[in-house]
Structure 1
Amino acid sequence: MDALRISRRQSIAGLSVAGLAGLLIPPALAQQKRETTGVGIGKKGAAIDDEDIFTFALNLEYMEAEFYLRATTGKGISDTDAGMDAGRVVGGHEAQFKEKAIREFIEETAENELAHVRFYRKTLGRSSISRPAIDFDAGFKAAAQAAGLPADFDPFADDMSVLLGGMLFEDVGVTAYAGAAPLLKKKEFVEAAAGILAVEAYHMGMARSQLYMMGEKAWDAANAISDARDKIDGTPEKEDEGIRVDGKANFVPSTPDAIAFTRTPQEVLRIVYLTEKAGVSKGGFYPNGMNGELKTT
């Protein structure tokens, strides 16, 4: 296909799949991605490396692990897994699950996210960051406001609430991994990112399908979260879809070619900081910002 006939977003999405398959992204296009989005630019204008991208992912995995562990056990990750200079985590409590199957789904998800934290910490070694400060209370309050949900929305309340809270993270995680994959250089890092993306997509499919079966209240809330994410990420392109589209179930948000949507780190940061502004380095779920080079919208 003539590259001039497809949009930049479509080209990057296609290259995400190529990257996940272990193929090489053309150097010129990788440079264009860095120049047009800011991805690939670190301190003093230096190109970011694979470790910077994995560090960015570890920030997100810390938040996911904390969310699911608190929902299933009432406690977060251990001091050993959080690192020497771990930030404080505010909010969260054990949920009152009604369905045994959903509790088991969330327990498995919590185990997966904790395993991801440990994998990144082991892979990054001495350069591994500690857990940043995380504020679930302020983050979900702002997220609920952005999505038009009740001001007292508690993502740790029950089955539906936990799934909605998880959907906020999982959909964003999938688009983040899909967007970052072409920027990775080391084959082993690409393979790891592909495997973790697949696990996050399993989580996302579980949450979206379970929410759909809960009926109209869940449809409306999930679609409101999707719309809010699409608005706040700072781009005019469609990068999100709700769980009900055109009167039918939609548990696979994707392009017309059935390719996962992609987001740059800056677009992801706008969502987790809950701001549409550029140049912001903290807020929302991360009151002191993320740790590492990639921390500014």
Structure 2
Amino acid sequence: MSRFQTILRLVLTASLAITSLAAPHVSRRADGVTDTQLLQFALTLEHLESTFYNQALDKFNDKAFADAGYESWVRGRFEQMRSHEQTHVDFLTKALGDAAPRACTYDFPYNDPKSFVALSMALETVGGSAYMGAAQFLQNKDTLTQAASILAVESRHAAWAASAVLKGSPWDGSFETPLTVDGVYSLASQFIVSCPSTNPTLIAKPLPKLTIEPTSPAAGQHIKFNFNHDEVKHDGDKLYAAWFDGITVHHTDLGDDDRASIPQELQGTVYGAIVKTKESNPTKQDLLTGLVMFEIGFSSYAPNP
């Protein structure tokens, strides 16, 4: 297991222990959503990222990064990323006006620059997937272009942190992975403690918590899914593990012991969830649980799957 995988495993495992006391108001969506609702959700994520960088970079100075083994330019790039995220917050806040949600209170599971870097990569990756998954619902083409511009920056952030800093791969395969609003919220809400009562209701459906054992598995490995069966409502007896891989969804049968095998062809950032049907479109998949996220490292000489 690489140093990157070890750190990311520790960070993501720690995040699952965070309890949300008063997460954003969420509701089950109707068939249609407005651009305003989508931008409110985007701003909620940008507030989270901006606060994440503000808190961490205020806590860890140049010496802390140097003591962790990073060259002097690394923290400077994170300062630039902090500025980008604040600009995104300001831009969306201005666009929404009185309808803009305010920042929440957060709890991020890092305790040193190394765990901060790993969590940064994870948050930026999820942020890019959030914009990608929501793009199809935006009606205003100018808004779509602006969202795509932010999406591109989030992806650049993730690629830089993954490769230049963590010495891993800057990409996973030929396609990035779009995620549903519900799936993104299941990951982001792990870090939210409470939000202002005046914030608008978000267009997200809370999903049952999902964890896996082991927390940092390998491709082809048989793993255990942990979730509350009483919270997972579905018709019929058959459940599947869905694996989100770019614009493709792989499925494996979930056994009676809640175990399933990870497809051999997966690499890089992997998202998994429990589902009831083998829907092939990643943004139309009806999730029965929240997402799990982990990394499967691969060599620079490995072919694309």
Please give the range of the TM-score, normalised by the shorter of the 2 chains: 0.5 to 0.7
Task: State which of 202, 205, 218 in structure 2 corresponds to 1:293.
Answer: 202
2:133 maps to which residue? 179
Equivalent residue, structure 2, for 1:86: none
Measure, in 2, the Cα distance between the counterparts of 1:201 and 1:47. 27
1:52 equivalent in alignment to 2:37: yes
Q: Return closer, same or farther for 1:163/1:187 CA change in 2, 3 Å cut-off.
A: same
For the residue of structure 2 that corresponds to 1:163, the secondary structure is helix
Which residue matches 1:262? 178
Q: Give per-residue Cα distances to partners, 1:173-205, cap 9 Å, x unaligned.
A: 111111111111101110111100011011011
Q: Write the deviation string for residues 127-181 of structure 1: whole angstroms up to 9, x where unpaired.
A: 1111122222xxx2xxxxxxxxxxxx51xx22x3221120120110111111111
Is the CA contact (8 Å cut-off) linking 1:181 and 1:193 kept in structure 2? yes
Extract structure 1 runs of 4+ deviating beyond 6 A: 41-44
Conserved 8 A contact 2:122-2:158: no
Contact 2:56 2:116 in 1 (8 A): yes
1:126 to 98, 112, 126: 98
- TM-score, normalization by structure 1: 0.54
Identity score, percent: 28
Is 1:271 the counterpart of 2:187? The answer is: yes
Assess, with a 3 A threshold, how the Cα gap between structure 1 residues 288 and 294 changes in structure 2: closer, same or farther.
farther
**Structure 1 residue aligned with 2:51, among 66, 77, 98?**
66
**1:18-45 Cα deviation digits (max 9, x unpaired):** xxxxxxxxxxxxxxxxxxxxxxx96783
Equivalent residue, structure 2, for 1:199: 153
Deviation of residue 48 (structure 1)?
1.4
1:104 matched to 2:76? The reply is yes
Q: How many residues align?
A: 172
Query: Which whole-Å CA distance do the structure 1 matches of 2:176 and 2:106 have between them?
Result: 27
**Aligned-residue CA RMSD in angstroms?**
2.2
Q: In structure 2, do the counterparts of structure 1 residues 172 and 291 end up closer, same or farther at CA, with 3 Å as the change threshold?
A: farther
Give the whole-Å Cα distance in 2 for the aligned partners of 1:113 and 1:169. Answer: 12
Say whether the 8 Å CA contact 2:33–2:137 is kept in structure 1: no
d(CA) in 2 for partners of 1:67, 1:263: 21
Following superposition, the deviation at residue 291 of structure 1 comes to: 4.9
Structure with more of its chain in helix, by fraction: 1
Q: 1:176 to 1:48 in 2, by over 3 A?
A: same
Distance of 1:123 and 1:44 partners within structure 2? 22
Which residue pairs with 1:113 in the alignment? 85
Distance 2:134 2:146 in 1: 12
Name the CA distance, whole Å, in 2 between partners of 1:296 and 1:168.
22
What one-letter code is carried by the residue in structure 2 that aligns with 1:251? P
Match of 2:107 among 135, 145, 153: 135
The residue type equivalent to 1:50 in the other structure is D
| Distance change >3 Å, CA 44–CA 212, structure 1 → 2 | closer
